[in-house]
Each structure stands twice: as structure tokens, then as C-alpha cells.
Structure 1
Amino acid sequence: MSKIEDVKVLVETGKSKKVAAAVQEALDAGDKAQDILDAMIASMGVVGDKFSTGEIFVPEMLIAAKAMSKGVDVLKPIMAGDTSNSLGTCIMGTVAGDLHDIGKNLVIMMLESSGFDMVDLGVDVPAEKFVEAVKENDNVVLVACSGLLTTTMPALKEAVQTIKAACPEMKVIVGGAPVTQEYADEIGADGYAPDAGSSAAKAKELIGA
């Protein structure tokens, strides 16, 4: 089995203590950093699919994401100088009144590993703060708003509509347990991801990557 295959298996199975060494071994064996990253992204895609179908649950997904982050840490210094692979900046936050961050953090990890430069606004983010972040950061191509409570659905609507009013061309993606495609359409969002596993593919689709 190739070193890259080793890395893929370790990410899929969430062996975070072994991933960094395996990534380094793959690099030492001559594998390119981008190829290793692509392999880990593919692994997280598999994990995301398993999560979407109910084969695994949030804990397993978090463990795999943590394993991947250990691998990404090894690659970051090597890839830092190469901005050609960046898909652009994505602003992400959990909307006002909502303090959930596990889902948001998973999505950030998925998008970051797919090539987005992520700006994490944290939780309980007022609508205006999303707009400020769009204006303050370079090359913003996407805003991702997360809402995990039914009580914060109006805040999600306000966030999307505030962003759209200030930046009509900006693509906005939404997600969270109570959110549906219908609701996303109703509030004017450009995209909806039912879970972290599907967020990267949807985000890339929205920006035409």
C-alpha cells in the first residue's frame, strides 16, 4: 500500500496520533503535498457520505476531522507559499442567538481542506458582522451561515437578507439541523448543505470551482 493510501485509511478511521507521521512519510517518499491533501479530502468525502447515510455519527466525523487536521498541520508550512490552489475566502459563523459551534467547526474544516481560506466569526454572530467581514477581508467569494436551533431561524433569515442587501453578488450558503432546502430558497440563500459532509461540494458548486 502506498504512503498516501496509508494516510487515507488513517484519516477515515480517525487515527489522529498516527496521521502526522504518515503524512511526513509520504512527503519523504516523494509524494506531493497537494496530492496528499487531495487524498485526505477524498477520505473526508467518504466520511461525509457515511455521515449523510447514517452509517456513522457526529463523534466519528469529529474524530476523522481531527485526524485530518493533524495531517493538514504538517502540510501547511509546505503549501503556505502556494496561493494558486486557493478557491477564495469564505466567511463563516453561527447566527445571532445560537451558540452551537461543532457543526460550524466541521464545515470550516471541510471547506478549508477543500481549498477555501476560512474566516471564522464564531457563534452568536449579528447579521451586520457578516457584512463587515466581507468588506474587511480580501477575495471573499462565499459566506456560510449556520443555525442549529429552530428559534434562531429568523436570525438566519436576517443574516442572509442583510448580506444580500449589502453585497447582492455575494454567494451565501446556509445549513444546520432545522434548515431545509425550502427554507434556504425562501430566505434567499444561494445554497444549502444538509450536513458538513456535503458542504464542500456545494460550496465549490456555488462559486463554480
Structure 2
Amino acid sequence: MSARRLIVGISGASGAVYGIRMLEALRDAGVETHLILSKAAEMTLAYETDLKPRDLRALAAASYAIGDVGAPCSSGSFPSDGMVIAPCSMKTVAEIATGVTGNLLSRAADVVLKERRRLVLMARETPLTAVHLRNMLTVTEMGGIVAPPVPAFYARPDSLDDMVDHSVGRVLDLFGIDSDLVRRWKTAPDGRAAGDQAAGDQAAG
């Protein structure tokens, strides 16, 4: 494998924008992406954005139908740096946790785990039931990383786009992929630590 390659899954959980931005950021970073878009994700995309499934597929190097369990990424012989599911529904988390992989999305994730590659799930749900928590713990114990898209307010986001970018950028960090999407701690505009800046603002107020 000459270039970096990631499998990108998008489930039907709310937050299609995370998958969109992930594909855009990986394209800009020169990472080859292989997209798996669930049927429910296509519905969510229509509810939450003006984009069509073909627009997402155009952002990826390759895309596969959710029912195509014979796709290249369904096999451990398909080389990749891992997989991210953005966003990841609790249904998909449950399939991965139990190993009951009835479609290409959960099958590809199962393959990534068995090959000891990195799997990151941007899990989206609230409140969480005990079943959700147990499934996420199981995935973690299997070697996956559960990374809910939680905003970092120390970055002082000015827009929803800023909040999305920060979450996406932090997931890219987990794969060692550089991006300019994250305002790092201790990188306030005046050079002070973000915490120092907040303390100064409080004192001034």
C-alpha cells in the first residue's frame, strides 16, 4: 500500500455532517477513502442536508453498497490504516460488539478489529441506556475507540462548522493524520495557554 487508506462508514445516526466533513478532510490530506453508506444514512442525509448520496460518493476514491458483503474491504487481505464510522448509530455499535455483522458496514468494522487495525466510532446518541454503554465498553475492550463528537468550548467556536471541524480533527489525530481543523490547547491567538486566557478574561470581567 503506497498511500494512506481509510475506510469511512456513515450510518443513519443524526450527524451526517460529520461523515461529510471527514471525507472532505481526508481528501484534503491526500488519504484514499473507501466509503460505505448505509440506507439509513441516505435518509438522514436528505433530512439534514441538501446533498445527495452521489455527492458523498464523489468525495471518496471508491464506494460500496451496504449489501455488498463481497466488497474488497470485507476481507482482511484488503490493506488499510483502519476505519472510522462517522456518525455511528447504536445499532451499528451493537452489531460490532456482538459480531453479528449482517451488512458491509459492520462487517468491514469487524475485519478491521480482527486485523488489529484502528477502528474509531463517532457514536451518536443521548441519553444512553445500559445496553448502549455495555456495547461501547465491549467495542473498547476489543480494541476499538469510541469517540463521541463532543465539542471543546475552550476552542471558542464561532459556528457549528467550527465545532464539527474540531471533532473531525480530533478523530484524524487518532490516525496520526495532520489537519488544520483543531485549535490546540495552549494555542490562543495571543500566545498564552487557552486556560490562561480564560482566567485573564474572568479577572477582567
Report TM bin, short chain. Answer: 0.3 to 0.5
Question: What TM-score does the superposition give when structure 1 sets the normalisation length?
Answer: 0.41
Structure number with higher helix proportion: 1
